[in-house]
């Protein structure tokens, strides 16, 4: 049996009629209640009768269809409509607004909302982001019905922005956003309005690590946009959970009078790392490097090396290579994680490393670093001082991010809203 589908635009502005078909007023909106997965039920109708907005529960609706809603009761309550917590007005709150499509991590515009009749009543089942369906609201109702639907998005993968509906007391669930990669969440923030972006940041803020990861993926413009609205203490709390190189980049973008106060509020270990990074030009190897890595004595057994990797707090991408440190702290070789996993547990690091690893120096510019990493197929390049002592590592993903032009995600449509 085919499911009956109804477009919201075909109902709103239609007539409210009584049991005999006589007009009582006009349909202003439909009400849905969130929290009922996967499809919110339609719980009532907002109607206008004699210049008053009134509420009609679905229990008193005999028929819901294009152009008209039939009232089944004997009398209409004249109590003015007031939104209750958890309720959304489908037309006023959602239609033509941005929504999050969690399937693919995109921002879409709700140009049409589809309802379906189930055994339990009407439910919100899908959103149509196609631009052409917006014409249904502009054309006469008879012509509007002829506009075919676009590719709809199931409501189960939709999450609405609700900051603009303060009385609804709803927030984007963290658990849904947490399924996405930090870069995908950053894409959503960059594609959204400031208010919508704040709502996403607020949701991921329940997980401090995820919040930091998302901030690291944001472009400098959006990072500053959100940090400027925070106190020095709040900014320091966020920077403390970010990778030192990303935190250093963000501090350099802060207003001059905020840099020292924010830096002073950071934990001492993080503060030392960031101060060291700030001493380098940001477009050199020293400014690009990560100061956290694993460097061990050549005699260290492989099973201890693997344990050091497991317990290290360095970023995962910096742990793809382990370095051997000889007398006076000089680097004597490097070993990939793959070669360590393949080696016998009782073997020593010295037996696995490749001697004299290719490296870069802190004062090298991006072009020199790129040539070296390309020529030697390095995914992690050690940064050494003149005495061959390790001061940091450069990962290929950080290098690519520096080389790509500003705004490249938008240029390639990765953060644009789906219309």
Across 356-384, average pLDDT = 95
**How many angstroms separate the CA atoms of 129 and 197, rounded?**
20
Amino acid 194: pLDDT: 83
| Verdict on whether the full-model pTM lies above 0.75 | no
3-state SS record for the chain = CCCCEEEHHHHCCCEEECCCCCEEEEEEEEEEECCCCCCCEEEEEEEEECCEEEEEEHHHEEEEECCEEEECCCCCCCCECCCCCCEEEHHHHHCCCEEEECCCCEEEECCEEEEEEECCEEEEEEEECCHHHHHHHCCCHHHHCCCCCCCCEEHHHEEECCCCCHHHCCCCCHHHHCCCCHHHHHHHHHHCCHHHHHHHHHHHCCCHHHHHHHHHHCCHHHHHHHHCCCCHHHHHHHHHHCCHHHHHHHHHHCCHHHHHHHHHCCCHHHHHHHHHHHCCCCCEHHHHCECCCCEECCCCEHHHHHHHHHHCCCCHHHHHEEEEECHHHEEEEEEEHHHHHHCCCCCEHHHCCEECCCCECCCCEHHHHHHHHHHCCCCEEEEECCCCEEEEEEEHHHHHHHHCCCCHHHHCCCCCCEC
If you average pLDDT over every residue of the chain, what do you get?
86
Bridge partner residues of 416 (DSSP)? none
Going by pLDDT thresholds of 50, 70 and 90, the confidence category of residue 419 is very low
Amino acid 47: pLDDT: 94
Q: Is the confidence at residue 72, as pLDDT, over 50?
A: yes
Q: Is the confidence at residue 173, as pLDDT, over 60?
A: yes
Q: Is the confidence at residue 64, as pLDDT, over 70?
A: yes
CATH-assigned architecture of domain 295-401: Roll (3.10)
Considering the four listed CATH numbers 1.50.10.10, 1.25.60.10, 3.30.565.10, 3.40.50.300, the one that applies to the domain covering 166-281 is 1.25.60.10
Domains of the chain, residue spans: 5-160, 166-281, 295-401
Across 127-149, average pLDDT = 65
Amino acid 242: pLDDT: 86
Half-sphere exposure of 109 (CA within 13 A, CB side): 13
Task: Give the percent of the chain with pLDDT over 70.
Answer: 89
Going by pLDDT thresholds of 50, 70 and 90, the confidence category of residue 408 is low
pLDDT tens digits, 285-318: 999 999 999 999 999 999 999 999 999 989 899 9
CATH-assigned architecture of domain 5-160: Roll (2.30)
Q: Is the confidence at residue 168, as pLDDT, over 50?
A: no
Across 194-206, average pLDDT = 85
pLDDT tens digits, 4-62: 889 998 899 999 999 889 999 999 999 998 876 688 999 999 999 988 899 999 999 99
Amino acid 162: pLDDT: 59
User: Among the listed ranges 67-71, 195-199, 341-345, which one has the minimum average pLDDT value?
Assistant: 195-199
Amino acid 141: pLDDT: 56
Amino acid 138: pLDDT: 57
């Amino acid at each position: 049996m085919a499911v009956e589908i109804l477009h919201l635009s075909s109902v709103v502005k239609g007539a409210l009629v009584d049991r005999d078909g006589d007009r009582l007023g006009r349909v202003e909106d439909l009400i849905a209640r969130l929290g009922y997965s996967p499809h919110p039920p339609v719980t009532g109708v907002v109607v206008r009768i004699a210049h008053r907005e009134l509420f009609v529960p679905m229990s008193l609706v005999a028929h819901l269809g294009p152009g008209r809603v039939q009232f089944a009761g004997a009398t209409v309550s004249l109590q003015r409509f007031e939104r209750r917590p958890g309720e959304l007005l489908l037309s006023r709150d959602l239609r033509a607004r941005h929504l999050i499509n969690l399937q693919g991590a995109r921002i879409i515009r709700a140009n049409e909302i589809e309802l379906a009749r189930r055994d339990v009543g009407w439910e919100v089942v899908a959103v149509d982001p196609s631009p052409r369906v917006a014409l249904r609201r502009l054309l006469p109702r008879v012509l509007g019905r002829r506009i075919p639907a676009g590719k709809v998005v199931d409501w189960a993968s939709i999450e609405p922005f609700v900051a603009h509906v303060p009385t609804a007391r709803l927030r984007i669930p963290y658990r849904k956003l947490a399924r996405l990669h930090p870069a995908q969440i950053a894409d959503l923030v960059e594609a959204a309005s400031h208010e919508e972006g704040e709502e996403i940041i607020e949701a991921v803020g329940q997980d401090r690590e995820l919040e930091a990861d998302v901030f690291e993926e944001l472009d400098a413009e959006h990072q500053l946009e959100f940090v400027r609205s925070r106190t020095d203490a709040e900014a320091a709390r966020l920077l403390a959970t970010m990778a030192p190189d990303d935190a250093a980049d963000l501090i350099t973008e802060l207003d001059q009078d905020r840099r020292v106060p924010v830096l002073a509020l950071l934990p001492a270990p993080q503060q030392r790392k960031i101060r060291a990074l700030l001493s380098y030009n940001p477009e050199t190897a020293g400014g690009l490097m990560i100061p956290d890595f694993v460097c061990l004595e050549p005699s260290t057994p492989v099973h201890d090396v693997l344990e050091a990797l497991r317990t290290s707090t360095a970023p995962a991408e910096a742990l793809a290579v382990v370095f051997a440190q000889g007398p006076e702290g000089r680097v004597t070789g490097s070993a990939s994680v793959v070669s360590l996993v393949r080696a016998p547990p009782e073997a020593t690091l010295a037996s696995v490393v490749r001697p004299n690893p290719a490296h870069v120096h802190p004062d090298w510019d991006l072009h020199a670093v790129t040539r070296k990493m390309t020529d030697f197929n390095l995914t992690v390049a050690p940064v050494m001082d003149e005495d061959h002592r390790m001061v940091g590592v450069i990962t290929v993903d950080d290098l690519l991010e520096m080389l790509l032009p500003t705004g490249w995600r938008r240029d390639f449509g990765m953060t644009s809203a789906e219309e």
